[in-house]
């Protein structure tokens, strides 16, 4: 039969996504068709942002004669897992290599976590606002996504009461983003304690995504990275969780990887660390071993390169922190003195949220910015902001691109206010 009387009979319901282009995509396509320039403030692929990578170290890491043989290990080779344990040791967390599983991306690590914890129809709690991929990651694993709100007026702290009220018998995990994308807020110790208590009582695991954890800002933004050298004492920072990988009160799966730590998304190398009370952790590790053994997904040359690729973070992170700080300082200077645009406070990460007058929806702003100025930003609704008037942009573009794009954005907002 042709023509779709039963259009979805062939395919699983979980793939029934609306595939029509949205107004923003159409506007970008129209601009590209006319060969007009795009000022891309969504660019967060670090390999396209003019950073100075150590090509010899990166390519050299892949040339390892041990890659000529195949010695499968569901967790990944021991030297790689020791390097991951060493990374956490620098954050004061004791992680044993047996707690570590290599994966081909954080997304795959999420899938492993969901497969471990949840059956079809169960649900996981996800912060709002946060990263749009969670709709797909939960959907593809047949899970329901339930959002819990972060409180803008309290620096994006977790609204614990609302979160508790949204837990039900089918809740299997609570996701924590540390720091969150795009709000840049870190999980605080009191929040983790409350959630670990809840997790213990209700047999719910925590899944902590720490991909941006190495990119904290100083208080209120600006002079990014200074606090990492210990020069600035930030009282907010002392209340932050250092890493969830040391959590022992409730079953916790901590995810991270090279895409942000070493700014190498093309390497497709990430990991999951399981921690928690001894018995639960042991049972989780046994099950994760079978999940990982079913896929054995990480290629040997990459896994063996991990220790050296992880080391390259020491050269790339200072560059990124400098870039974030520079763009942020420039933006803040530009917004001083009566701009109708405001930058929301954040504590870290690669993104910044702007608040713009809400007489237009954020989608209308984004479309208008492309149409009139060629400036591309993400409307807040992509990230499930509670109201209108939020635009999300990356701080990673080279300064000249960032400045030209922001100047255009501010001009348009001023004209339309």
Helices (H) and strands (E) in the chain, counts: 14, 14
- Beta carbon of residue 257, minimum distance to ligand PLP (angstroms, whole number): 4
Residue 107 touching ligand PLP (CB under 6 A) = yes
List the alpha helices (DSSP H) in 20-105: 23-33, 55-61, 78-89
d(CA 368, CA 411): 12
Residue 316 touching ligand PLP (CB under 6 A) = no
Which of 39, 131, 148, 365: binder of ligand PLP (CB under 6 A)?
131
- Beta carbon of residue 50, minimum distance to ligand PLP (angstroms, whole number): 19
How far is the CA of 239 from the CAs of 188, 189, 190, 191, in angstroms?
5, 6, 8, 10
- Beta carbon of residue 392, minimum distance to ligand PLP (angstroms, whole number): 11
Residue 183 touching ligand PLP (CB under 6 A) = no
Please check whether residue 116 is in contact with residue 280, taking contact to mean a CB–CB distance below 8 angstroms. no
In terms of Cα–Cα distance, which of 84, 147, 145, 137 is closest to 115? 137
- Beta carbon of residue 263, minimum distance to ligand PLP (angstroms, whole number): 11
Token representation of residue 146: 């339930």
List the alpha helices (DSSP H) in 49-100: 55-61, 78-89
- Degrees, nearest 5: CA angle 174-175-179: 140
Token representation of residue 376: 């591309």
Please check whether residue 350 is in contact with residue 324, taking contact to mean a CB–CB distance below 8 angstroms. yes
If the CB atoms of residues 43 and 373 are measured against ligand PLP, the closer one turns out to be 43
Residue 112 touching ligand PLP (CB under 6 A) = no
| DSSP structure class, residue 344 | P
Residue 211 touching ligand PLP (CB under 6 A) = yes
Which of 123, 141, 171, 181: binder of ligand PLP (CB under 6 A)?
181
Contacts of 161 (CB under 8 A, 6+ apart): none
Tokens 């803008």, located at residue: 152
Residue 156 touching ligand PLP (CB under 6 A) = no
If the CB atoms of residues 241 and 270 are measured against ligand PLP, the closer one turns out to be 270
Stretch that binds ligand PLP, among 105-113, 216-224, 338-346, 405-413 (CB under 6 A): 105-113
Residue 262 touching ligand PLP (CB under 6 A) = no
If the CB atoms of residues 211 and 306 are measured against ligand PLP, the closer one turns out to be 211
| Range list of β-strands (E), 57-132 | 100-103, 123-128
Residue 43 touching ligand PLP (CB under 6 A) = no
- Beta carbon of residue 67, minimum distance to ligand PLP (angstroms, whole number): 22
d(CA 272, CA 388): 35
Residue 275 touching ligand PLP (CB under 6 A) = no
Residue 102 touching ligand PLP (CB under 6 A) = no
d(CA 379, CA 4): 33
- Beta carbon of residue 298, minimum distance to ligand PLP (angstroms, whole number): 12
- Beta carbon of residue 221, minimum distance to ligand PLP (angstroms, whole number): 19
If the CB atoms of residues 181 and 185 are measured against ligand PLP, the closer one turns out to be 181
Residue 270 touching ligand PLP (CB under 6 A) = yes
Which of 177, 224, 261, 346: binder of ligand PLP (CB under 6 A)?
177
Residue 394 touching ligand PLP (CB under 6 A) = no
Classified as helix, coil or strand, 383 is helix
Token representation of residue 34: 């006319």
Q: Which residues bind ligand PLP (CB under 6 A)?
A: 105-107, 131, 177, 181, 209, 211, 257, 259, 265, 270
């Amino acid at each position: 039969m042709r023509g779709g009387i039963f259009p979805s009979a062939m395919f699983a319901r979980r793939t029934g996504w609306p595939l029509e282009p949205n107004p923003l995509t159409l506007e970008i396509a129209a601009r590209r068709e006319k060969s007009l320039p795009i000022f891309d403030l969504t660019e967060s692929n670090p390999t396209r942002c003019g950073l100075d990578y150590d090509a010899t170290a990166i390519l050299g890491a892949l040339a390892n004669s041990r890659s000529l043989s195949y010695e499968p290990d569901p967790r990944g080779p021991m030297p790689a897992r020791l390097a991951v344990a060493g990374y956490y040791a620098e954050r004061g967390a004791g992680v044993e290599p047996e707690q570590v599983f290599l994966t081909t991306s954080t997304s795959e690590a999420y899938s492993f976590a969901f497969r471990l914890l949840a059956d079809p129809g169960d649900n996981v709690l996800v912060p709002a606002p946060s990263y749009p991929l969670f709709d797909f990651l939960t959907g593809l694993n047949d899970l329901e996504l339930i959002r819990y709100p972060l409180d803008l007026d309290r620096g994006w702290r977790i609204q614990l009461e609302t979160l508790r009220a949204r837990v039900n018998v089918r809740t299997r995990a609570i996701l924590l983003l540390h720091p969150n994308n795009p709000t840049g807020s870190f999980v605080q110790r009191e929040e983790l304690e409350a959630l670990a208590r809840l997790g213990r009582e209700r047999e719910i695991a925590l899944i902590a995504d720490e991909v941006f954890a190495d990119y904290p800002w100083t208080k209120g933004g600006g002079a990014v990275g200074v606090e990492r050298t210990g020069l600035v004492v930030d009282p907010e920072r002392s209340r932050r969780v250092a890493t969830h990988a040391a959590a022992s009160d409730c079953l916790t799966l901590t995810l991270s990887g090279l895409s942000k730590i070493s700014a190498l998304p093309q390497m497709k190398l990430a990991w999951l660390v399981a921690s928690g009370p001894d018995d639960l952790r042991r049972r989780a590790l046994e099950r994760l071993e079978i999940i990982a053994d079913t896929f054995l997904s990480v290629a040997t040359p990459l896994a063996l390169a991990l220790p050296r690729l992880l080391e390259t973070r020491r050269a790339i992170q200072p560059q990124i922190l400098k870039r974030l700080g520079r763009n942020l300082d420039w933006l803040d200077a530009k917004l001083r003195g009566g701009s109708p645009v405001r930058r929301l406070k954040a504590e870290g990460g690669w993104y910044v949220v702007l608040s713009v007058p809400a007489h237009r929806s954020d989608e209308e702003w984004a479309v208008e910015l492309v149409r009139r100025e060629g400036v591309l930003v993400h409307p807040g609704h992509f990230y499930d902001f509670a109201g209108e008037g939020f635009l999300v942009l990356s701080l990673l573009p080279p300064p000249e691109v960032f400045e030209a794009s922001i100047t255009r954005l501010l001009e348009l907002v001023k004209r339309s206010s």
